[in-house]
Amino acid sequence: METIDISRKGRGRALRTAWNETDAEMSIYMDVDLSTDLAAIPLAVAELRGGADIVTGSRTRADSNITRCFKREFLSRAYNRLIRMVLGTRCFDDAQCGFKGVRIETVRPLLTLVENEDWFFDTELLVLAEYAGLEIRTLPITWVEDADTRVNIPRTILQDLRGVTRLRLHGRSTASGFRRPTQGP
């Protein structure tokens, strides 16, 4: 296994760097606090092998098993509703869930269109992928909130609102130039 050193913080920066440097066929990541049960990994691999370009966990599905406080549940549901209403997305229902899998050959070219280097990276990637016509599949997960979160919620909300505004204004035109890589033999 290869180690990649990333000197600056940022979820998006780390994922972009890893996905651009890997020679793997697919990549699955989850938040470092391991809130998502590891049993989701083989399900994600199966979906990626079955033709999905991106697989995302969902804490909002009825068949997910979630433990989290009311405040974070409320904020998450409000955020995801905002994404659907303002950006018109339909292929995913939990943009910020910290469990995702990607097929590298499909997602790597899309990374040049994603501007955010931090927490909004996930949302921006999913929105642009949907606009570009990629296959996004959602999985139910078992997820337990880490009460010791380091996320600065007010700062993250402000950053996300800026990102949503940018995608509302330019997202569809940005994704219109994306061409899905052709499958190899």
pLDDT tens per residue, range 63-108: 999 999 898 899 999 999 999 999 999 999 999 998 999 999 999 9
Q: What is the pLDDT of residues 16-67, one digit of tens each?
A: 999 999 999 999 999 888 889 999 999 999 999 999 999 999 999 999 999 9
83/93 Cα distance (integer angstroms): 9
Q: Which residues of 73-104 are buried (b: 16+ CB within 10 A; e: fewer)?
A: eeebeebbeebeeebebebbbbbbbbbbbbbb
Active-site residue 93, yes or no?
Answer: no
Give 47: exposed, middle or buried? Use CB within 10 Å, 0-12, 13-18, 19+: buried
Q: Domain boundaries in the chain?
A: 11-176
How high is the pLDDT of residue 1? Answer: 54
Given 122, 146, 148, 160, which residue is catalytic? 122
The third-level CATH classification (topology) of the domain covering 11-176 is Spore Coat Polysaccharide Biosynthesis Protein SpsA; Chain A (3.90.550)
Q: Give residue-wise pLDDT tens across range 144-171.
A: 988 777 778 888 889 999 999 999 999 9
What is the reported pLDDT for 87?
97
Percent above pLDDT 90 for the chain? 72
CA dist 34 and 11 (Å) reads 15
pLDDT at 185 over 50: no
